[in-house]
Structure 1
Amino acid sequence: MYRIYDCLAHQHDIVLVLVALLIGLAGIHTAFNLYARACIGRLRQKIAWLFLTGVVTGGGIWATHFIAMLSYDPVVPVGYEPLLTAISLAIAIVTTTIGFAIASISGPHLVLSHLVLSRLVGGLVVGLGISAMHFTGMSAIRVPGIISWHMDIVIAAILMGALFGMASLYLAKTAQTDQQKLLGKANLTIAVATMHFGAMGALVITPDPTVPVPAQLISQEYLAVGVAVVAIGLIAIGFVTALVDRQLRDHVSNRMRILGDSAIEALVLTQNGRVIDANDSFLKLGGVTRAEILDQDFLTEWLSDTPAEFKSGKVGYAETTLSWSNNTAIPVEVVRREIPADEISDATVIFGLRDLRERYAAENHIRFLAERDALTKLLNRSTFNDRLAEALTQSDETGIPLTVMCIDFDHFKELNDSFGHIAGDHALRELGERLAELFSDNVVIARVGGDEFVALLSHPEQSDMDNVIARSRETAQQILDCVALPVFINAEHRAKLSASIGIAHYPTDGNDAESILFHADLAMYRVKQSGGNDIVFYSSEMDEEYRFKRQLSSNLRHAMENGQLELHYQPQCETDGNDQVIHSFEALLRWTDPELGSIPPGRFIPIAEETGLIVPLGEWVLRTACKEAARWKNPLGIGVNLSAVQLQKHELPELVAEILNETGLDPKRLELEVTETALIHNPARSMKILSDIKKLGVRIAMDDFGTGYSSLATLQNFPVDRIKIDQSFIKKLVSNDQAIAIVRAVINLSRDLNLEVIAEGVETDEQASFLNDHDCRSVQGYKYGYPKPISDYAHVVNPTEFPETTANRDSGIETV
């Protein structure tokens, strides 16, 4: 090291050394710009650019060497043999051309190890070429003396030149970024400097006047001029060529970049699989800078999950994940397009990418809306059915039973009627949230319509039915407790609900989804019929009852179509002591089925209400009764019962008016009987309908008075003409003090309100005597006549046809 330092410090002109280094830097700078261009051209253009790279690099290094030689003072006169000097220039150009050519080898068929090897080998050739050029140039020196070398320093210099030469092209890669170029230039400059000055330190010149010096030598003055001309010319040619080419490429690149940045989609350009450019949309998408992605293997480092067919180019579209080193993953759709190679550049692949996060989010939202109930965010009917089908299949495979629960909220309609549908929706939403939070992964719950919910309970690793039933009951009780918590309606009101839950098990209670749901629903309706707020497990008796109801419903429909229904009439009398006069009849529906025999109204009327048959059935009764009464010569009144379902029909007043007009019945003779329970389902609607009927001249009677929820409020608010005391109170007269008090109070209340009153179900003389004593003259019951066909009361309704009977003087009971 000391010899090298002593040689550089005391035997060289520092100014010329700096000039040599500047010439070398200029040449190497220009060379790497040319090399960068050579790495992206087609083969023919690549060869041309590589040759120009070698000429500029070799010429620059050669010029650096000989300018540095001119700065060296060996004490003795120095000359240079022309041929060897020229050969050294040729060696520099050839070896650097070959080295850069080897390093530029690339392509999709080369793996990373092959690329690294080509760059290392190329750098080694350049490094060794520097050494070959140097020692060939040194051998051209002619001095009157003997030249010798310190071989250890020579070997070290050659190794240093080779190592830094390898490092320069390895680190430079394809020289597409400023960083790559800077690393390549710095290491190659170090290679040239260490090689030259190391070798100069190993040089020993021993003066010897006897050594002959040829006359045909190049003097140092001429060498200086020649080297300067060669160096400046080669560097200028390379620089200008690279500058013009770069400007052209930059112009084209800028136009393409402007076009690319105008695109909403992310665009990435690659050559030989390496990124050469990307637009702003991609940089924003990836959160990177352009410098960070240049020369990366795009498919390997950014689209590693892409299908092999897309990577190979067999398909041009894929949906995949864009991911990189910061562990961020973005779903994208990618389109691949090939641009063939031209005179300017290699074949280029453009990747167009679109961020799919918004689309996936929209699809997930659509899927959520399709699978979920909009109000409660629970599963909807369709999705629940799919889950149930999957669970049944799994149950068949594992043998583990399933539980299905049908859940219905009790008196939810009253909540809607009292507070409005908005409050009802709020209650359903809150209950849905509670149930969703209550259940684990083993329970699936869905809203299937209105206030109806279903739950699917699985029993992992549990096949014992006793344990299954116990767990089902426990879960159902949790639901009841959850529903029982008050629901916020508004600042003044909280609603407390209850639920009816029917439970069925698979496979014991059904062999498919339809049957298991149906049986759970049957069990739920059994709870509703029993008052609600309870849990009932399905049993086979429920199925038998359902089949009977279904048969009854079918037979009832058939009876309506085939005239199997008839009306019986029960007299309503006015009494005064021992005399009684029939003033009206109540029309009562009777049905005798050919298969089942006589069926009481209490059995088939509820079924008609459940199935919707009550509307046409009620119209038939009203029309038939009015038509019959219109034929009577004795203008007695006719009473017809209205069901709660009929009373909610807006068109009821128009129907009554139509029937009256059609039959010609005097409206004052018609009395429509309604119950308190029917009125409170929708009080506002009931008030409007009854008021419209009242305007027709029709009388309104309140049936079963005293058994409802708000009797006094009903009397005050509704247009009632007559009160009918329910027969349950009449039956308890004489023996029950409370019944006596209630009947007496109703009679007095009616008198004070100027309303008529009639007692139903009078059967005994004691009952009749009590009512007569308390001034209740209007009565109805078996004591005064059984419900019979109107033909049995022909002497009453048509007295002129029976002159021997004075029906209006007495009741005519003797014929009943």
Structure 2
Amino acid sequence: MYRVLDCLTTQHDPWLVLIAVLLCLGGVHTAFNLYSRACVGRLQQKLSWLFLTGVVTGCAIWATHFVAMLAYDPVLPVGYNPGLTILSLLIAIVATFIGFTIPGIAKQNLVPARLVGGLVVGLGISAMHFTGMAAMRVPGVISWHMDIVVAAILMGAAFGMVTLLIAGKAQTGREKTYGKIGLTVAIVTMHFSAMGALIITPDPTIPVPAQIISQSSLALAVAMVATLVIGIGFVMAMIDRQLRENASARMRIFGDSAIEALVMTQNGIIVDANHSFLKMIKGETATISGVDFIETWLPDASPAFRDGAEHYTETSLALSPGHTIPVEVIRRDLPADEFSEDAVIYALRDLRERYEAERHIRYLAEHDALTKLLNRATFHDRLALALEQSRVTGNPVSVLCIDLDHFKELNDTYGHIAGDHALREVGERIGKLIEDNVIFARVGGDEFVALIVHDNPDPDSMIATAQNKAQALLDCLSVPVFINPGNSARIAASVGIAHFPDDGDDIESIMFHADLAMYRVKQGGGNHLVFFSPEMDDEYRYKRQLSGALRHAMDENALELHYQPQCNAHSSKIIGFEALLRWHHPELGQVPPSRFIPIAEETGLINPLGEWVMRKACEEAVTWTNPLGIAVNLSAVQLQNLDLAQTVAGILDETGLAPERLELEITETALIHNASRSRKILTEIKALGVRIAMDDFGTGYSSLATLQNFPVDRIKIDQSFIARLMASEQAVAIVRAVINLGRDLKLEVIAEGVETEDQVAFLTANDCDAVQGYKFGHPRPIADYQTTVSGTAVAAQHRSIAGIGSN
């Protein structure tokens, strides 16, 4: 080490040494810029750039050596052999070309390739140095300290290997800096260490050949070669860099204009990314360059996508520990070109909005828009799944069918907007009862269902759980619903409960039996819960059988009308008849109207049945010589038919009955179901000349507003008041009040259910207009009243009728 330092300090011109070092730095700087370019692109372009790298690097090593030799003062005249001098230059060029080419074109085993390439470069520096020293001619004997020679060669080789290892592909500023410093150290260290091993022993007897290069000529040659080659390399590197930057700028503008996030990688490492990706991750290019893209950002990507077997995936983008966003990723492989090597472009799109839209669409598809509960289709899917699981686990499932009580009246009274508000409120209250094993759904206008999945097979626990949940439902609905300032409405519910597998083995049977149980609650007044029992199924089958038989009876004209007289209260003269439907079943016998009329209303038969009754009654009445009135009952269901007035007009036109002879009886309860529609329909009927009677007055709402708002001609006092007339002061007061009310409103009053003389006497004394009941005649076929309708027995009418009506 002392010899090396002594040689450097005492035998070298420090200014020329500095120039040699600076020349070395300049050449190496240009060389690594060229090497950076040589590491990308197709193989042909790589080899061209690698050759230029070798030329510039070799010239830099050669020029550094000979400038340093100019700085060396051996105290003897020095010259150089031209052939060996040129050979040293060629050795430097070839060695560095080979050394840089080995890692520059390698695609696998990069570390060994870089170590081997660095070794070749380091040995090439030594070979060039000692070849150049062999070209030196002095009048003396040249010898070497071999230990220093070996050390210099080893240091050159070691620094060469380290240089290419840490420089990598020289794609980043850091890699280039490491490479430039490392190669400069390798060249300078090797040269000056080897110079310390040089021993020159003067010997005047040794001639110096005449054909040598003088030091001044060598200086000029070195300056020219170094400047020319390094300059050419520098200019070419700058031009190529500008072209690459222009192409990169165009690609960046294109990439940044894309909505998708774009990431470019080489060998899995990020080399660039567009603005959309940086915005997505809230980062900067400098912080992500050199990072493994898949491992860092897409750790959940499938192996097939990682390997390139798949080019599309939906996965999570890891922004930070525990924070990911869903993305779709498209992979595209880019082959190497004259500006870049093989690369992979990843296009990423944030899926949060799409997933949210899909969730919203799925929510809308599965839920009722008004109440936010599940809809019918989703409930059936959940029920089907629950039944499948129940078959495996043995744990039962309960289904609750829920129907709001008197919701139609709320709609009719306050309007559909208020009805929708009430349904939303109901949905919100029911939603609070939802649990992991309990779901609710809206399946119709005011119809809801619930599904309870039990966690054990115990039947007592099943019944208790279902009952508790049903009662909780009734309790939550018991609080009045706000309609508008000053108005609220009480909403109750009828709840029917059926269990799987006890009450059915499939969806249809379970739902049907829960529905039957719910209707049983409805029939009992509502606001209660009932469990299904087999008797309900028997009753349903009976109703269905009766409904079929009723339809058959209508088709076969097996129904008949009986007529009950309506008489003047003072003269007992028959003034009309009420037509009453009768049905004699061949097996069941006489079926009372109270049994089959509700069934007709439930099954939709009431409209054709009511039309048949009206037509038959009118056809019969038009044949009477005595133009008596004919009264026909209207069902509440019929009154909701907007075509009812046209139907009445058509029947009158077909039969030829005078409109004023026809009277239609309707209960006040039926009017209230949809007051505005009922008023419209009755007004149209009244315009035809037909009379309107309010039946069963006193048992419904009995509102004075009803008498004022509807076109009523007659009030019928319900028979329940007449039956208690002689035993109840309240009944007396009610009947007297109704008669006086009718007189004041100029409405006729008729009492039905009159059976005794005392009742007749009271009604006559209080100026009731007409009476009807067994006292004056039972409902019978019209043939039994033939003398009355023909007008041949007017004189003895009272006696005759009394005999027929005696009990």
| TM-score, length-scaled by structure 2 | 0.90
For residue 658 of structure 1, what is the amino acid of its counterpart?
G
Conserved 8 A contact 1:273-1:297: yes
* Corresponding residue of 1:169: 164
Alpha-carbon separation, structure 1, partners of 2:415 and 2:166: 77
Alpha-carbon separation, structure 2, partners of 1:622 and 1:214: 152
Alpha-carbon separation, structure 2, partners of 1:491 and 1:428: 18
Alpha-carbon separation, structure 1, partners of 2:134 and 2:728: 145
* Corresponding residue of 2:795: 806
Mean alpha-carbon deviation: is it higher for 750-759 or for 340-349? Answer: 340-349
Alpha-carbon separation, structure 2, partners of 1:139 and 1:390: 93
* Corresponding residue of 2:566: 572
Matched, 1:537 2:531: yes
Shift in Å, 1:776: 2.3
* Corresponding residue of 1:64: 64
CA pair 199-401 structure 1, distance change in 2 beyond 3 A? farther
Shift in Å, 1:563: 0.7
1:323 is paired with a residue whose SS is strand
* Corresponding residue of 2:95: 95
Conserved 8 A contact 1:581-1:811: no
Alpha-carbon separation, structure 1, partners of 2:146 and 2:114: 31
Conserved 8 A contact 2:313-2:330: no
Deviations 1:193-217 (A, max 9, x none): 45445555xx166674448665145
For residue 52 of structure 2, what is the amino acid of its counterpart?
L
Alpha-carbon separation, structure 2, partners of 1:477 and 1:159: 94
Deviations 1:469-504 (A, max 9, x none): 111112222222222233333344333322221111
Mean alpha-carbon deviation: is it higher for 333-342 or for 510-519? Answer: 333-342
Matched, 1:476 2:465: no
Mean alpha-carbon deviation: is it higher for 370-379 or for 15-24? Answer: 15-24
Alpha-carbon separation, structure 2, partners of 1:61 and 1:488: 96
Shift in Å, 1:571: 0.9
2:631 is paired with a residue whose SS is strand
* Corresponding residue of 2:780: 788
Alignment of 1:157-306 (within 5 A): 161-162=156-157, 164-197=159-192, 203=196, 208-210=201-203, 215-216=208-209, 218-267=213-262, 279-285=274-280, 287-290=282-285
CA pair 637-251 structure 1, distance change in 2 beyond 3 A? same
Deviations 1:510-554 (A, max 9, x none): 101111111111111111221222111111111111111111111
* Corresponding residue of 1:500: 494
* Corresponding residue of 1:652: 644
CA pair 180-372 structure 1, distance change in 2 beyond 3 A? farther
Shift in Å, 1:568: 1.0
* Corresponding residue of 1:552: 546
Structure 1: gaps (5+ residues)? none
Mean alpha-carbon deviation: is it higher for 144-153 or for 191-200? Answer: 144-153
Deviations 1:31-63 (A, max 9, x none): 222222222232233222222212212221332
Shift in Å, 1:13: 4.0
Conserved 8 A contact 1:581-1:810: no
Shift in Å, 1:67: 2.4
Alpha-carbon separation, structure 2, partners of 1:266 and 1:666: 85
Shift in Å, 1:807: 4.9
CA pair 476-809 structure 1, distance change in 2 beyond 3 A? closer
For residue 526 of structure 2, what is the amino acid of its counterpart?
G
Deviations 1:614-647 (A, max 9, x none): 1111111112112211211111111111111111
Alpha-carbon separation, structure 1, partners of 2:418 and 2:619: 45
Q: 2:752 aligns with which of 754, 760, 764?
A: 760
* Corresponding residue of 2:21: 21
Shift in Å, 1:301: 5.5
The number of residues matched between the two structures is 801
Alignment of 1:315-334 (within 5 A): 317-321=311-315, 323=317, 326=320, 329=324, 331-334=326-329
* Corresponding residue of 1:446: 441
CA pair 153-146 structure 1, distance change in 2 beyond 3 A? closer
Conserved 8 A contact 1:142-1:213: no
Alpha-carbon separation, structure 2, partners of 1:681 and 1:98: 102
Shift in Å, 1:368: 2.2
Conserved 8 A contact 2:777-2:804: no
1:674 is paired with a residue whose SS is strand
Alpha-carbon separation, structure 2, partners of 1:263 and 1:559: 77
Alpha-carbon separation, structure 2, partners of 1:623 and 1:808: 28
For residue 46 of structure 2, what is the amino acid of its counterpart?
K
Alpha-carbon separation, structure 2, partners of 1:780 and 1:810: 16
2:208 is paired with a residue whose SS is coil
CA pair 697-305 structure 1, distance change in 2 beyond 3 A? same
* Corresponding residue of 1:415: 410
Conserved 8 A contact 1:80-1:142: yes
Alpha-carbon separation, structure 2, partners of 1:212 and 1:442: 114
Q: 1:735 aligns with which of 722, 727, 751?
A: 727
* Corresponding residue of 1:434: 429
2:637 is paired with a residue whose SS is helix
Q: 2:398 aligns with which of 393, 396, 403?
A: 403
Deviations 1:310-344 (A, max 9, x none): 565556x4233363564665545555556666666
For residue 796 of structure 1, what is the amino acid of its counterpart?
T
Alpha-carbon separation, structure 1, partners of 2:326 and 2:750: 80
* Corresponding residue of 1:622: 614
Alpha-carbon separation, structure 2, partners of 1:187 and 1:437: 73
2:625 is paired with a residue whose SS is coil
Conserved 8 A contact 1:176-1:295: no
Alpha-carbon separation, structure 2, partners of 1:324 and 1:76: 72
CA pair 3-621 structure 1, distance change in 2 beyond 3 A? farther
Q: 1:373 aligns with which of 357, 365, 368?
A: 368
Alignment of 1:321-360 (within 5 A): 321=315, 323=317, 326=320, 329=324, 331-335=326-330, 352-360=347-355
For residue 215 of structure 1, what is the amino acid of its counterpart?
V
For residue 660 of structure 1, what is the amino acid of its counterpart?
L
* Corresponding residue of 2:482: 488
Deviations 1:441-488 (A, max 9, x none): 21122211212111111123x111111111111222222222223333
* Corresponding residue of 2:358: 363
CA pair 170-522 structure 1, distance change in 2 beyond 3 A? farther
* Corresponding residue of 2:661: 669
Conserved 8 A contact 2:748-2:769: no
CA pair 796-471 structure 1, distance change in 2 beyond 3 A? same
For residue 226 of structure 2, what is the amino acid of its counterpart?
A
For residue 565 of structure 1, what is the amino acid of its counterpart?
L
Structure 2: gaps (5+ residues)? none
Conserved 8 A contact 2:561-2:580: yes
CA pair 727-365 structure 1, distance change in 2 beyond 3 A? same
Alpha-carbon separation, structure 2, partners of 1:552 and 1:485: 40
1:414 is paired with a residue whose SS is helix
CA pair 628-325 structure 1, distance change in 2 beyond 3 A? closer
Alpha-carbon separation, structure 2, partners of 1:247 and 1:523: 86
1:589 is paired with a residue whose SS is strand
1:174 is paired with a residue whose SS is coil
Q: 1:561 aligns with which of 548, 555, 580?
A: 555
* Corresponding residue of 1:697: 689
2:448 is paired with a residue whose SS is strand
Deviations 1:387-411 (A, max 9, x none): 1111111111111111111122222
Shift in Å, 1:93: 2.4
Conserved 8 A contact 1:502-1:524: yes
Question: What RMSD over aligned residues (CA atoms) do the two structures have, in Å?
Answer: 3.2
For residue 495 of structure 1, what is the amino acid of its counterpart?
A
For residue 484 of structure 1, what is the amino acid of its counterpart?
S
Alpha-carbon separation, structure 2, partners of 1:598 and 1:149: 140
Q: Percent identity?
A: 64
Alpha-carbon separation, structure 1, partners of 2:741 and 2:9: 135
Shift in Å, 1:128: 4.5
Shift in Å, 1:583: 1.0
CA pair 26-213 structure 1, distance change in 2 beyond 3 A? farther
Shift in Å, 1:798: 0.8
Alpha-carbon separation, structure 2, partners of 1:140 and 1:487: 111
For residue 392 of structure 1, what is the amino acid of its counterpart?
L
Alpha-carbon separation, structure 2, partners of 1:693 and 1:756: 19
CA pair 585-133 structure 1, distance change in 2 beyond 3 A? same
CA pair 437-33 structure 1, distance change in 2 beyond 3 A? farther
Alpha-carbon separation, structure 2, partners of 1:428 and 1:134: 97
For residue 814 of structure 1, what is the amino acid of its counterpart?
G
| TM-score, length-scaled by structure 1 | 0.89
